[in-house]
Amino acid sequence: MTNVKTRQLSVNGVKRTVDAPANETLLETLRRIGAVEVKCGCEKGDCGACAVLLDGEAVDSCLTLTGTVGERAITTVKGLGGAENPHPLQTAFADLGAAQCGYCTPGMIIATQSLLTNDTDTPDEADIRLALSGNLCRCTGYTKIYDAVLDGARAMREAEAAK
């Protein structure tokens, strides 16, 4: 029998109380509480579909035990923006056709947000390739994804400058 503990999580800025067994991954917990925008791909850290931000850093939620998260802020792609008020990266991915089937898109956007949060300069293709190296896409060929990252980065810089 696995030990179940009550845990406090902050998901997209909302405090949640969840019961989670000691061996439950953050992916399992998030999907169980309705965060289905976090995709379940390989469940072994190879594809990046399950990526979330923990205090701004991209992590594979399939490799992260819920019990290790503690008080860290969890942000899913839904926490960045939605249909009514999309994040510039979400807009760039949509406008530039960087998503075909869309399954990898949430993880790609999370990895990109982590890159742009931690790299204040304009990323070059090598930076983008490295930041997205943990994310697999079987549809796009990556060129449109790289273009969307650059466009989203530009839009984020412009939005910040306008403040």
Q: What is the CATH number of domain 4-79?
A: 3.10.20.30
CA distance 82 to 24: 28
CATH class of 80-162: mainly alpha
Angle at 147 between CA 89 and CA 50, to 5 degrees: 50
What are 27-66's pLDDT values in tens digits? 999 999 999 999 999 999 999 999 999 999 999 999 999 9
What stretch of H or E contains 92?
helix 88-95
What are 64-99's pLDDT values in tens digits? 999 999 989 999 999 999 999 999 999 999 999 998
pTM of the predicted model as reported, rounded to 2 decimal places: 0.94
Domain chopping of the chain, boundaries:
4-79, 80-162
CA distance 129 to 36: 26
